[in-house]
Structure 1
Amino acid sequence: MSSLFFSLSIAGQSLLTYKRAMDNVNKNMTNVYSEGYSRRVNHFADLPASSVYLKKIERVFDNSLFNRYITTNNQKTGYENYQDILQQIEDIYNDIQGSGFASELTDFFNSFNDVAVNPDDLAARYEVMSKAQALIGRIRNSYDTLINIKEKTSLSIKDSIGQLNDLLNQLAYVNKNIKFYSYDEVRLNEFLDERDRLVKEISSLIDVKVRINEDNTVDLFTAKGFDLLVFDQAAPITYDIDENNNPVVRVRGNDISSILENGKIGGYIKGIEKVNEAINQLNDFTTIFALTVNKQHRQGYDLNGNTDIDFFGIDPESSETTINAGNIVLNITDPKQIAAASDPAYTNSDNTNIKEIIDLQNDISGVLSSSEETDLLSDASITLGSITYTLNNVENYNLIKERSFHEFYSSEIVTPVSTELSHVKNLTEDSNFILDAIDQKIKEYSGVNIDEELINLTKLQRAYEASARIITVTDELLQTVLNLVK
């Protein structure tokens, strides 16, 4: 009779084991379309001289695939956000769609031709002022748009850092629970799925290196080794603005802005660097343009016989003391102030100076004296009249001198952005393709295959039914024995 009770115990143990295993399979099937869910595999073991038990419910996970996903996701999001900034810059100078200022630059110089033909024609002089205003408007609009892109991108970085801090704190909480529930496989596996989801989200924001510890907790570091998270201690990531209005990202007080290349934040920082380059190039173009036109215009005489008149000036509302793309204005307010003549005795008919201004379109050589050029190239700054002209890169003056304003605009302002954008688009497409391939590998390895789960469920149901049948038969035998005893 004791053997019957023993059989009943074995069958009962098996029944509970297969019931728990079926629950796990059912959970897999329920989450077949759940993003980020990793299937759980039942591992059985024999009890000595007894039944079977569910030794382990293992979560299917490949560390190498996961790390490859994190690295590629870093690159992908970095390229995507960098590409977005480059696209916005390119749109500013899209002359085909009318957003650049190449045609306005041509119209400006061409408008002087009618004044050269008839120097005292006020209508022609008004046209010069109109075309100058149109060119200034496009230049200042380009500058304002670049500044706006920079400001919006900086705010996006600030928002991303706030999101990053939240995710790191959530991951710190998950780490604690992973350790706390290390002996509860069901809860543990749920937290491990959450761990992976959070790490993926973090990798889309910032360059990150992942270290998975033996207890399944994770530590996160930047590409250069600054710790972002160690167990349940998340480092505070802070956002600041430097004296040039550039965003500064700090970890525990350390400036890591220059080492961030990937992730959303890294992509945005690279984008701001490109915006700064575009602003500097536009400012240098405007400075050299205003300098040479003003210098030539100051040498002529207007219809009233006045000289030393600046054609362009600095916006009175600007707090800056040097002329640039953000503050350039038309200085003359009366068409008679256009200095067309070189001879003060013939201001109504002499067109010598206006022809010199027209020639600036293709050649600025000789406008500045050798001493003025030396001062400009050595100090990157020169003052003529009441206006100071400062360059970010003195080489830009030589480039315009060797080529022309149009060639500089095309080769140094428009083309570099378009070339970089084309390159980054290719990198983005490649990283997207690689990430999709890795993601597909992860899903094939860790995802739920409904056919396989149905087969497993069928096997477990048969084993469960067999255990239940043993219990039924054993119970009948016990009843028979008991009846015999009576």
Structure 2
Amino acid sequence: MSLFFALSMAGQSLLTHKRAMDNVNKNMTNLYSEGYARRVNHLSDMPASSVYLQKIERVFDRALFDRYLNANNQKTGYEGYQDILQQIESLYNDIMGSGLSSQLNDFFNSFNDVAVNPDDLAARYSVISKATALVGRIRNDYNSLQNIKEKTSLSIKDNLQKLNNLTKQLAYVNKNIKFFFNDEVRLNEFLDERDRVLKEISSLIDVKIRINEDKTVDLFTAKGFSLVVYDQVSNATFETDSSGNPVVRVGGNDITDILGNGKIGGYLKGIKKVNEAINQLNDFTATLTLVVNKQHRQGYDLNGNTGIDFFGIDPESSLTNIDASNIVVNITDPKQIAAASDPAYTNSDNTNIKKIIKIKDDITGVLTAAEETDLLADGSITIGGITYNLNNTVNYNLIKEKSFHEFYSSNMVAPVSSELSKIKTLAEDSGFLLESIDQKIKEISSVNIDEELINLTKLQRAYEASAKIINVTDELLQTVLNLVK
């Protein structure tokens, strides 16, 4: 072996171990960098020659990464849905005595004093006061539900914009991964960025990924609609339908109903729950006003007048039917309360007011059989110029079988609380699962300072040995040159 060949081998070894040490130093520098996957040196012997750095491999477990995306997707979906459920539940604050149930009790109980003394104006004023409070509570709940819906829709819109920014970023990363495919240092940096972007996207929407041989990634929705194919991006768009419900489209395709997870999917589930709560509140209001008005119209007030509706439609409302958004107390004069059934004894007869009190627990018989048939046929009936619509006629039957209080508790409050309890558990479980997967990924791909120090020591010794070979070879060359002289 010639001295020059030995010098070449030592030089090659020196450069190889220098690159390997630089990589170890990079690992140690990024010890606390979130999302950094450590790089592993793969050294190989050159046949009958020196050593070279075959590749710098980034530690990456595809199976664990896929599990992380799925778990993250589920966790954020449950958390988004849970947030909406908590807002709905806070409206039904009956435990603190400020919910709709309390206002409903006060309303019906206020009729008792009128029943005891039908011509007591103070008692009649109290009825109007309690009715106004009940109407205020109903309209406040309706407006609050609408506000939840609007704010959630805006959140969906904002998150879709964030999603579009991330998909553009992913397309940019794909281009750089392909461009720097042969530059391991830059390539691994972009692969870290690729995984970070995918994690963020998975927190917004349920997706599937396809990692190609060149390490670029194609991104699809869970049902196969493409979001990113190499550097081609399909933006998600936001719009609202005639009912104010959000509509999400990708490439012109409506994907609203197929989004089940991620923050956006969780919010969409929440809006469905809000719509359900609004429909139940509207049916509750329509049924309450229908039976109270029907019974009240059959009585006589202190002036001997009959056919008076207790509740009415807000004149500022554009709707022709009464619901939780436009209900008002139609009576402003306490003398208009129709307590009597006998026009000859309007100041002493309390027969009609007793029938109104009975409505609290039983609405049977208030509507005639023909009226009930008409209502249940298409969910709508008009009496005295006011139209009452039901979103679901089953709700009327439930109130009739139970009572307003039981319907409110068992069909409006309890399902939300039960659903919230279930989602809280699922959110916690998915959080634990995500944390477990993340910990496993970190165990595999994060930097271990002790291991890196050992690697660095080994590489330094090899570097020093290569340097020593160069020094010895140089001395031998000098000796040979001196002999020639």
**TM-score bucket (shorter structure):** over 0.9
Tell me the amino acid that sits aligned with residue 412 of structure 1.
N
Partner of 2:31: 32
Residue 344 of structure 2 corresponds to residue 318 of structure 1: no
Partner of 1:182: 181
Partner of 1:255: 254
Partner of 2:135: 136
Residue 465 of structure 2 corresponds to residue 466 of structure 1: yes
Partner of 2:355: 356
Partner of 1:71: 70
Shift of 1:214: 0.9
Partner of 2:237: 238
Pairing 1:94-113 to 2, within 5 Å after superposition: 94-113=93-112
Q: Aligned with 2:320: secondary structure?
A: coil
Q: Output the CA distance in 1 between the equivalents of 2:130 and 2:142.
A: 18
Q: Aligned with 1:43: secondary structure?
A: strand
Tell me the amino acid that sits aligned with residue 415 of structure 1.
A
Q: Aligned with 1:147: secondary structure?
A: helix
Partner of 1:341: 340
Residue 119 of structure 2 corresponds to residue 120 of structure 1: yes
Q: Aligned with 1:56: secondary structure?
A: strand
Deviations 1:337-381 (A, max 9, x none): 000000011000000000000000000000000000000000100
Decide whether aligned partners of structure 1 residues 92 and 178 sit closer, same or farther in structure 2, where only a CA change above 3 A counts: same
Q: Aligned with 2:260: secondary structure?
A: coil
Q: Output the CA distance in 2 between the equivalents of 1:166 and 1:480.
A: 67
Q: Output the CA distance in 1 between the equivalents of 2:169 and 2:97.
A: 48
Aligned-residue Cα RMSD (Å) equals 0.7
- The answer to whether the 8 A contact 1:311-1:330 is kept is yes
Partner of 2:51: 52
- Greater alpha carbon shift after TM alignment, 390-399 vs 472-481: 472-481
- The answer to whether the 8 A contact 1:11-1:467 is kept is yes
Tell me the amino acid that sits aligned with residue 120 of structure 2.
D
Q: Aligned with 1:329: secondary structure?
A: strand
Pairing 1:371-390 to 2, within 5 Å after superposition: 371-390=370-389
Tell me the amino acid that sits aligned with residue 87 of structure 1.
Q
Deviations 1:59-102 (A, max 9, x none): 00000000000011110000000000000000000211344211
Q: Output the CA distance in 2 between the equivalents of 1:475 and 1:322.
A: 101
Partner of 1:396: 395
Tell me the amino acid that sits aligned with residue 305 of structure 1.
G
Tell me the amino acid that sits aligned with residue 426 of structure 1.
T
Partner of 1:267: 266
- The answer to whether the 8 A contact 1:91-1:99 is kept is no
Q: Aligned with 2:239: secondary structure?
A: strand
Pairing 1:422-461 to 2, within 5 Å after superposition: 422-461=421-460
Partner of 2:303: 304
Unpaired segments ≥5 residues, structure 1? none
Residue 364 of structure 2 corresponds to residue 365 of structure 1: yes
Q: Aligned with 1:294: secondary structure?
A: helix
Q: Aligned with 1:111: secondary structure?
A: helix
Partner of 2:227: 228
Tell me the amino acid that sits aligned with residue 72 of structure 1.
A
- The answer to whether the 8 A contact 1:92-1:99 is kept is no
- Greater alpha carbon shift after TM alignment, 377-386 vs 475-484: 475-484
Residue 7 of structure 2 corresponds to residue 8 of structure 1: yes
> What is the TM-score with the length of structure 1 in the denominator?
0.99
Deviating runs (4+, > 6 A) in structure 1? none
Q: Output the CA distance in 1 between the equivalents of 2:482 and 2:417.
A: 95
- Greater alpha carbon shift after TM alignment, 475-484 vs 183-192: 475-484
Residue 20 of structure 2 corresponds to residue 21 of structure 1: yes
Q: Output the CA distance in 2 between the equivalents of 1:480 and 1:270.
A: 84
Q: Aligned with 1:42: secondary structure?
A: strand
Q: Output the CA distance in 1 between the equivalents of 2:127 and 2:339.
A: 12
Residue 148 of structure 2 corresponds to residue 149 of structure 1: yes
- The answer to whether the 8 A contact 1:41-1:58 is kept is yes
Q: Aligned with 2:361: secondary structure?
A: coil
Tell me the amino acid that sits aligned with residue 34 of structure 2.
E
Deviations 1:242-289 (A, max 9, x none): 011100000010000000000011000000000000000000000000
Shift of 1:477: 1.1
Shift of 1:39: 0.3
Shift of 1:46: 1.1
Q: Aligned with 2:2: secondary structure?
A: helix
Partner of 2:288: 289
Q: Output the CA distance in 1 between the equivalents of 2:376 and 2:258.
A: 32
Shift of 1:484: 1.5
Q: Output the CA distance in 2 between the equivalents of 1:442 and 1:427.
A: 22
